């Protein structure tokens, strides 16, 4: 669950009204997360329970979304009018994706049952520097989306021209781009470090290189392959890649991911120590942004076996 984002910089002279957003208790363990916005400002994400906010008196637009702020499908919107004389409660019906104002007698005591997974969230005051961080984070997200779109368009261009040699060169120069190849069978060939991708391993097998040597080379890699799905493992076996080599790719991937996780944990710890030492407020966590619909997916028809064979023979 993510923390609430402030809806105001300074407290109003006449005080705050209480606004409560609730989602049915029965979704504690299952169901999708829901994101809620107040006056188009991301406020909180949770599965079940209640979150309350201090808002200025007057009308407020409440918006519910299935998933996260930038994912899923928008639910409906509801305008509520908060007043000092009462607590305003908004209920979200997830299956129907509907918001409604609840009776003041709604059993709010039930929200304490889901701590710490779904604790009560209170709005907080922020400084101008906090808001600047939020804007900068959003700019970075937009830059990321533009980069992903560039990957998709470039890959789509290579596939449309059937320039697979050019695609391999591009992927080697920009390894991250490989995850945006729309066809899963073609994408599988480009997984792994440069000059030792899955496609390279397939061709080394054709040259009768032993599994022992190939496995040793795989385990020495500093670049992960991936946690292959069962469907992908079957495809690798169809390419005559032995269980020994598949296991080696999975092992080196797991080890590298563990090392990356340790590094990230250490980085966050050091960052938190610096923040505490400087006595500056922590920036709010931002939702990972999912790219929009992939243009290249329109070209994601299945690549035939003969085409795959030609690609393997010509570029790996």
For residue 12, the SS3 value is coil
- The residue with tokens 């992939």 is 294
Q: Is the pTM of this model over 0.85?
A: no
pLDDT tens digits, 112-129: 333 333 333 444 445 566
Peptide bond before 79: cis, by omega within 30 degrees of 0? no
pLDDT tens digits, 191-236: 888 889 999 999 999 899 999 999 999 999 888 998 998 989 999 9
pLDDT tens digits, 227-284: 998 989 999 999 899 999 999 999 999 999 999 888 888 887 787 677 656 544 444 4
Is 216 in contact with 249 (CB distance < 8 Å)?
no
For residue 107, the SS3 value is coil
Is 22 in contact with 106 (CB distance < 8 Å)?
yes
Instruction: Tell me the CA distances in angstroms from 7 to 16, 38, 52, 124, 291, one per residue in order.
Output: 11, 8, 12, 8, 27
| Portions of the chain given CATH number 2.60.40 | 17-125
Structure tokens at 243: 């269980």
Separation between Cα atoms, residue 45 and residue 118, nearest integer Å: 9
Which of the four CATH numbers 2.60.40, 2.30.30, 1.10.1420, 3.40.50 does domain 17-125 have? 2.60.40
User: Which residues are registered as beta bridge partners of 49?
Assistant: 23
For residue 2, the SS3 value is strand
User: How many Cα atoms occupy the beta-carbon half-sphere of 143 within 13 Å?
Assistant: 6
């Amino acid at each position: 669950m993510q923390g609430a984002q402030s809806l105001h910089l300074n407290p109003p002279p006449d005080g705050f009204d209480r606004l409560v957003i609730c989602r049915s208790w029965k979704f504690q363990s299952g169901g999708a997360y829901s994101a809620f916005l107040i006056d188009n400002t991301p406020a909180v994400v949770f599965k079940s329970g209640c979150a309350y906010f201090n808002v200025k008196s007057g009308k407020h637009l409440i918006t519910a979304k299935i998933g996260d702020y930038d994912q899923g499908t928008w639910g409906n919107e509801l305008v509520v009018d908060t007043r000092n004389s009462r607590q305003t409660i908004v209920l979200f019906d997830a299956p129907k994706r509907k918001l409604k104002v609840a009776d003041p007698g709604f059993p709010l005591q039930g929200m304490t049952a889901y701590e710490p997974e779904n604790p009560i969230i209170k709005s907080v005051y922020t400084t101008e520097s906090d808001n600047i961080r939020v804007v900068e984070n959003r700019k970075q997200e937009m830059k990321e989306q533009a980069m992903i779109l560039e990957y998709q368009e470039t890959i789509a261009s290579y596939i449309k021209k059937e320039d697979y040699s050019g695609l391999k060169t591009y992927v080697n120069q920009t390894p991250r781009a490989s995850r945006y190849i729309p066809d899963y069978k073609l994408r599988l060939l480009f997984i792994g470090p440069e000059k030792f991708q899955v496609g390279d391993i397939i061709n080394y097998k054709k040259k009768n290189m032993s599994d022992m040597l190939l496995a040793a080379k795989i385990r020495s890699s500093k670049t992960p392959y991936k946690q292959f799905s069962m469907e992908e493992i079957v495809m690798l076996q169809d390419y005559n890649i032995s269980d020994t080599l598949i296991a080696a790719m999975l092992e080196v991937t797991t080890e590298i991911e563990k090392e990356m996780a340790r590094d990230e944990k250490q980085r966050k710890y050091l960052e938190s120590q610096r923040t505490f030492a400087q006595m500056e407020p922590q920036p709010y966590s931002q939702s990972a942004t999912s790219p929009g619909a992939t243009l290249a997916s329109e070209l994601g028809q299945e690549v035939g076996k003969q085409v795959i064979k030609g690609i393997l023979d010509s570029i790996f």
